[in-house]
Amino acid sequence: MTTIKSLDPRVTRMQIDTERQDPLEPKPELDQFQTFEVFHQAKSGAHHVHVGNVHAPNRELALLLAKEQYGRRGQTVNMWIVNTRDVLTMASEDSDVFATTPDKMYREVAAYMVRNKVEAFKNKQQEGTKE
C-alpha cells in the first residue's frame, strides 16, 4: 500500500491510500455559504473602496455581517455588497487593450510644459520693464 506523501505533515500522517477504490463524494448542496465582496464609502461623495469579503447564505445576512465586520471600524455612510460570482474580470491575456494608455500624454498636465511658457513670459516681461 502506498500512501500520499505531502509537504503538509498532517496529510502524510493520515496515511491516505493513493489507489482508493471508493470515489470521493461531492459536497451536498447549500453546504457552503456564498462569498460576497464588500465596498465601503467613508463619507458622502467619496468613492466606494473594496475592503474585503464575507461568507453568508444570502445577501441580507451578508449586509448584516459586512456592517459588523467593516462598518464599525471607522466612519461609514454606505456599503455595497456584491456576490463574487457577479464580478466580471478580464483575463490577464487581454491586458493589451490598455497598451495605448501611456501614449495619451495630452491628458496629463505635465504634457503641456506650462511652466516653461510661464517662465518665458515672465522673462519677457522683466526685459520689457528694464528698458
H/E run at residue 73: none
What CATH number is given to the structural domain containing 34?
A: 3.10.20.520
In a domain, 75, yes or no: yes
Report the pLDDT averaged over residues 110-130: 79
Q: What rounded mean pLDDT belongs to the chain?
A: 83
CA 123 to each of CA 85, 110, 131: distance values in angstroms, whole numbers, following the listed order: 61, 21, 13
Domain membership of residue 113 as a residue range: 29-89+103-130
- The number of folded domains in the chain is 1
pLDDT of 75 over the 60 cut: yes
- For the full predicted model, state whether its pTM sits above 0.75: no
Asked whether residue 57 is assigned to any structural domain, the reply reads yes
Tell me: pLDDT of 88 over 80: yes
What pLDDT was estimated at residue 8?
84
Instruction: Say what the alpha-carbon torsion angle 91, 35, 43, 46 is, to the nearest 10 degrees.
Output: 10
Contact in structure between 42 and 73 (CB atoms under 8 Å): no
Mean pLDDT of 69-96: 88
Q: Is the pLDDT of residue 67 over 90?
A: yes
Q: Can you tell me the mean pLDDT for 22-27?
A: 69
